[in-house]
Structure 1
Amino acid sequence: MASRDFHLQMQGYGLTTANIFYGLPDHPRIIQSYIWQEYDLHPHFPELRKFLDFWTRSLDGPLHGVTVAHAQLITPAEMRLVDGEFHVH
């Protein structure tokens, strides 16, 4: 059985990494960094938006900025059918 990650990649999801910069509630001039990584859909990033909505609703550290990197891990050119099975031992 294929993994959840593989199924998501076959549906067009790619690995998304967000570097989230936020201010500390007690020290607003200090900016911290949090790395978030999940499979998400480019260009609208619904999973990242859901996480950032949760952040602004539930956490005290105000968001300062977000940098996003996205990689489509499986592309159609990398998938090919095999015409046979190979057995070793």
Structure 2
Amino acid sequence: MSLSRQLQGYRLTTAEILYHMPDHPGVLQTYIWQELDIAPRYPVLHRFLDFWTRQLDGPLHSVRVGSAALISPGEMRHGSLLTLQ
């Protein structure tokens, strides 16, 4: 994961995507997506979901999102990571 992106405010974002299986629309399948993204707009996730709706079979049912900062600028000093207890 890119340290420079994390310092720019990107957070590790995980989305649980439920979608209808193309051959069995009554059955839901789960897909887990994880990437660095910017909360609360989530532009990277929105691009992925736009791709999904344009290019993939299996209509979306719901998306649940969680995100967490891996590092913040205050945790950096002289180019090395501080150990947090």
TM over 0.5: yes
Aligned-residue offset at 1:81: 4.2
Question: 2:7·2:73 contact (CA, 8 Å) conserved in 1?
Answer: no
Which of 16, 19, 22 aligns to 1:22? It is 19
Residues 1:7 and 2:4 are matched in the alignment: yes
Q: Distance in 2 between matches of 1:31 and 1:43?
A: 26
> RMSD value over aligned CA atoms?
1.4
Percent of aligned positions that are identical: 58
Q: Distance in 2 between matches of 1:24 and 1:69?
A: 24
SS at match of 1:37: strand
SS at match of 1:32: strand
**Structure 1 unaligned spans of 5+:** 83-89
1:47 is aligned to 44
Deviating more after overlay: 21-30 vs 4-13: 4-13
TM-score, length-normalised on structure 1? Answer: 0.82
Aligned-residue offset at 1:80: 3.1
> Map of 1:50-61 to 2, 5 A cutoff?
50-61=47-58
Which of 44, 56, 72 aligns to 1:75? It is 72
Number of aligned residue pairs: 79
TM-score, length-normalised on structure 2? Answer: 0.85
Output one character per residue of 1:26-67: Cα deviation in whole Å (capped at 9) or x when no partner: 101110000100000000000000000000000110000001
**Structure 2 unaligned spans of 5+:** 80-85
Q: Distance in 2 between matches of 1:73 and 1:63?
A: 29
Higher share in strand:
2
